[in-house]
Amino acid sequence: MAARTEQLQIRLTPREKTMLKRRARSAGQDVSAYVLSCALPSSTDRFATIIEALKDESNRRFALAELSDALALMAPIEFADAVDPIDVQALSPLLQNYVAAMVEHAARGKGVENPVWTRAVDPLGEPYFATSLTSLRLHLLRTSPTAFRRRNIFIDSSVGARV
């Protein structure tokens, strides 16, 4: 971890300061560490939260969008440390493959290696198409990113960059 040499001062009410101290104490941290962990959560924690959200079918689309955004915004230098601890074992095979493909796709775009855990996720036995419209399947077969095609997942990423 880099040495902390900078300071940030904020203005708050005595009540707010008391609340921050109480919350920091409950979290087992000093106030600075607590505020930093809230304002700048670690990538590992963020990905764990996203993976947990994927288990809830009603939030799945939002969680996948959040994962896509998090991967896209990450600098190549921090990528490996952030994605190496991702654990997809509690997800369905489709979601395991979807997350692995997203991570592989992002790794390729950043010019870094895929994390080891993605090799442990076996590709789907049956193709998965992002739409039930059979008329779009040929389009999806052609335009799906390579990482997704290798996993037998066919999606459209031609509109916007989100996969």
Q: Are strands 128-129 and 153-154 parallel, antiparallel or unpaired?
A: parallel
The answer to whether the CB of 135 falls within 8 A of the CB of 123 is: no
Burial of 114 (0-12, 13-18, 19+ CB in 10 A): middle
DSSP summary character for residue 136 = G
Q: Can you read off the two tokens belonging to residue 76?
A: 């190549």
For the chain, what is the mean pLDDT? 89
Confidence label for 3 from pLDDT (cuts 50, 70 and 90): confident
Range in 22-36, 79-93, 101-115 with the lowest mean pLDDT:
22-36
Query: How confident is the model over 100-149, as pLDDT tens digits?
Result: 999 999 999 999 999 999 999 999 999 999 899 999 999 999 999 999 99
In the block, residue with structure tokens 């997942």: 153
The answer to whether the CB of 98 falls within 8 A of the CB of 64 is: yes
pLDDT at 120: 96
d(C-alpha 137, C-alpha 142), whole Å: 9
160 pLDDT higher than 80: no
81 pLDDT higher than 90: no
Q: Is-above-0.85 flag for pTM?
A: no
Q: Where are the extended beta strands (E) located within 17-151?
A: 128-129
DSSP summary character for residue 130 = S
Confidence label for 1 from pLDDT (cuts 50, 70 and 90): low
R_g over Cα of the chain? 20
In the block, residue with structure tokens 């601890």: 85
98 pLDDT higher than 70: yes
pLDDT at 89: 94
Helix axes 93-110, 60-73, angle to 10 degrees: 20
